Chain A
């Protein structure tokens, strides 16, 4: 068994003739939090969608030492990979409870009750709102529901795409607290963030992505002190 839950090497993703991700390699240790920071349009979301199988890609993606090859998204969910996309992609016309239930689709009905208890313990707000339609939730609640729904499938690797986007600072702090909690429960995390400061605080390792390529890589604490990172992503006026 490899010490890494995910190993990506030489990954290319193209939209038509435009290469959005060019030869990206990265790895996530088991139980680790890895963040990819970078400006808008650097290819971070594209990278995650390719790992999830939503977008076709070239290159190798090993999950728990086995190549994911060309397997479908739904098969990857079954293996234990889960993506919380930037747009959340909730089932707006269905209740919170139904959304969570469907999160456990691959595990079957027997896994629903236990999983739902755990999610409600983590996100008490969702318990209050469980009969409400997902489309009527506030931004923060939607993000909680998207994460809760993902956790229902008991992922080994959880990929979060801009979990703090558009949320109030108090809720952002709450989301990041939950991210660190998840690691304690053995979930490995790949975090894509524009809020580089917060991301570097919770992550063990970090990658900087620019124009589809990885330009810097190292321990998060080291990158947080790197002058180039400070200048481009952490300094005043670096808010993207």
Chain B
């Protein structure tokens, strides 16, 4: 290996690491606020890329239909479950938000899909379709289990993952897609050529991480999310609606997943089932950071990305093995370092 190859591998590592950082942070966020290990995080990555691909092809993405169905299901379920405690106004708000809006959106997509309005519009439509799916999935799958143990929530998350995976195959088929880059150009940096898309990924990741930091540190809503994570009962006692913070966390996770997918779509071929493995590497980063610290997760993600790209060079057949094996020493070290005082953090 010479310096040029090392630079190339490092570049790859940084790009992968940036995406894993976003996904890892989203996993930490969802876990902290709702105690759900968000296995379907990766589906949002795949769907982000594939929804853009479908729109580029001038077709109506299946995700537009799914959003309408999910909205209808969530609204129906909630009306049935809380029929005693719901006012007419509340039902009306829900019908507009969960049923009318998604169907209007579906109509709009069906109408506009053949017009090929351009990449910026596709990206916007993809986000508008995927972000609300986060809270809808939370309401359908996790909110009814809000007080269940972590293991039950985890099993539910795996169930959601498999459902979404199957739906992805129905929506997008088994074929892979590679999207048009936002900026189709490269420029030399020292001895190597850097794709503008790569720079774009790193810049967007940094901006998103900075925005998330500002959100959690500076805004009352961000602090409310942190407070829910720190002490759920305490949060309820100061009047923070913990269901709403759960939805918010899922919306952020869906947004982060979709953005990640949109970002990597032009760099790699994405299949309906590509998301899981990408999400899993974000998960490795999150675990290294103890599912607790955002900055540590971002750093760990960079490590995972680097390790992946260098092991792809030295032992490409063992690339995934090496990355996932990283967990073993980390878990062993954590189990020794953490001792027994974890129980005190319980509510």
Contact = CB atoms under 8 A, between A and B. Distances in A.
Contacts of B241: 72, 74
A194 interface: no
Interface in A15-63: 52, 54
A112 to B, nearest CB: 8
B223 A94 contact: yes
Given A54-B236, A94-B223, A101-B220, A74 B230 contact: no
23 contacts: A54-B233, A72-B236, A74-B239, A82-B237, A85-B233, A85-B237, A90-B231, A91-B226, A91-B230, A92-B231, A94-B226, A94-B227, A94-B230, A98-B227, A101-B223, A102-B220, A102-B223, A105-B224, A105-B240, A106-B238, A112-B220, A150-B237, A150-B238
A52 to B, nearest CB: 7
A108 B237 CA distance: 16
Interface string B97-128: 00000000000000000000000000000000
A73 interface: yes
Given A74-B240, A78-B239, A91 B85 contact: no
Contact of A103 (B85, B231, B238, B242): B238
Contacts of A85: 233, 237
A83 interface: yes
Given A71-B85, A72-B236, 14 more contacts: A54-B236, A54-B237, A74-B236, A74-B239, A77-B238, A77-B239, A89-B234, A91-B227, A91-B234, A98-B227, A101-B220, A102-B223, A103-B238, A105-B239
Shortest 5 CB-CB distances between A and B: which pairs? A77-B239, A89-B234, A106-B239, A73-B236, A91-B230
Nearest to A71: B85
Interface in B27-54: none
B340 interface: no
B84 A73 contact: no
A210 B325 CA distance: 58
A33 B266 CA distance: 67
A109 B220 contact: yes
Given A93-B230, A101-B223, A105-B224, A70 B238 contact: no
A85 to B, nearest CB: 7
Contacts of A103: 238
Interface string B219-257: 010011011001101111111111000000000000000
A98 B240 CA distance: 14
Contacts of B236: 54, 72-74
B239 A89 contact: no
Nearest to B345: A92
B238 A149 contact: yes
Contacts of B239: 73-74, 77-78, 105-106, 153
B237 A105 contact: no
Contacts of B223: 94, 98, 101-102
B227 A102 contact: yes
B224 A91 contact: no
Contacts of B233: 54, 85, 89
B146 to A, nearest CB: 12
A119 to B, nearest CB: 13
A106 B244 CA distance: 13
Interface in A93-135: 93-94, 98, 101-103, 105-106, 108-109, 112
A105 B231 contact: no
A8 to B, nearest CB: 19
Contacts of A69: 85
B230 A92 contact: yes
A12 B233 CA distance: 22
A78 B234 CA distance: 15
A77 B227 contact: no
B220 A89 contact: no
B227 A153 contact: no
A52 B237 contact: yes
Interface string A192-218: 000000000000000000000000000
A30 to B, nearest CB: 22
B316 to A, nearest CB: 42
B234 A83 contact: no
B220 A108 contact: yes
A103 B238 CA distance: 5
B240 A83 contact: no
Contacts of A78: 239
Contacts of B84: 70
B235 to A, nearest CB: 8
